[in-house]
Amino acid sequence: MGRALWMAGVLLVAGCGGAVAVRPADAKAEPTPDALAEHQYDEAFARYSRQCAEGLAEACGYLAFMYDNGRGVEADVGRAVDLCEQACERGGAYGCAYLGYLHQLGRGVPQDALRAAALYRKACDGRDLGGCVMLGVLYRSGSGVPRDPVYAVELFREACQRGDGLGCFSLGHMYESGEGVSQDSDAAQRYFVAACNSGNEIGCESVAR
């Protein structure tokens, strides 16, 4: 699935709308792949390959994104899975989150919501904002974990407070629908604005709709 919006499909399944790309909080290899323009793919692929070979776990996760989406290289989901596993085993939070995404969709690996939840938890504990938001999505829907919208709100709020646009949009959605919090249209709009200001396109579309 070629995309810069790598979690949009999962969020649609969970009933939370679309999403823009989420970046890890403490990345050590920059820029992250979702931020690349097309003319940067080849150079970034070479850089991530070099950094991964040098043992930089986050770069291995970024390289997995490139293989999954055919950015600077022929698409190869099997190689993407291998790189995610390698990154996650080395402590790369982005790789754990991406591997969770693959397991949630059953892309290149067996579909396994329990495994996805565990990987998102590991990613979130490693300060990957995408992992925290996706864990919240699972708790919102009760997929692979007990349904707990209150805890989902906590995860979305944490991500939003750390500057993550998708976290802000997701939190706004919870206020809009009254899930895990008291319904509050004004609060929802504030978080949609925060999401939009962070570059989240669906947040911008949700402002004053």
Helix (H) or strand (E) holding 144: none
- The whole-number pLDDT of residue 202 equals 87
Between 22 and 133, residue with greater pLDDT:
133
Tell me the per-residue pLDDT of 123-177, one tens digit each, with 9 for 90 and over. 999 999 999 999 999 999 999 999 999 999 999 999 999 999 999 999 999 999 9
Count CA atoms within 13 Å of residue 45 on its CB side. 18
Tell me the per-residue pLDDT of 31-74, one tens digit each, with 9 for 90 and over. 678 888 999 999 999 999 999 999 999 999 999 999 999 999 99
- The whole-number pLDDT of residue 10 equals 46
What does pTM read for this prediction? Answer: 0.85
Q: Mean pLDDT score of the chain, rounded to an integer?
A: 87
- Look at residues 135, 168, 171, 136 and name the one whose alpha carbon lies nearest to residue 152: 136
- Domains, the chain, in order of start with CATH, read 8-206 (1.25.40.10)
If you count them, how many residues does the chain have?
Answer: 209
What is 60-117 written as a DSSP string? HHHHHHHHHHTSSS---HHHHHHHHHHHHHTT-HHHHHHHHHHHHHTSSS---HHHHH
- The whole-number pLDDT of residue 180 equals 97
Confidence of residue 11 (pLDDT cuts 50, 70, 90): low
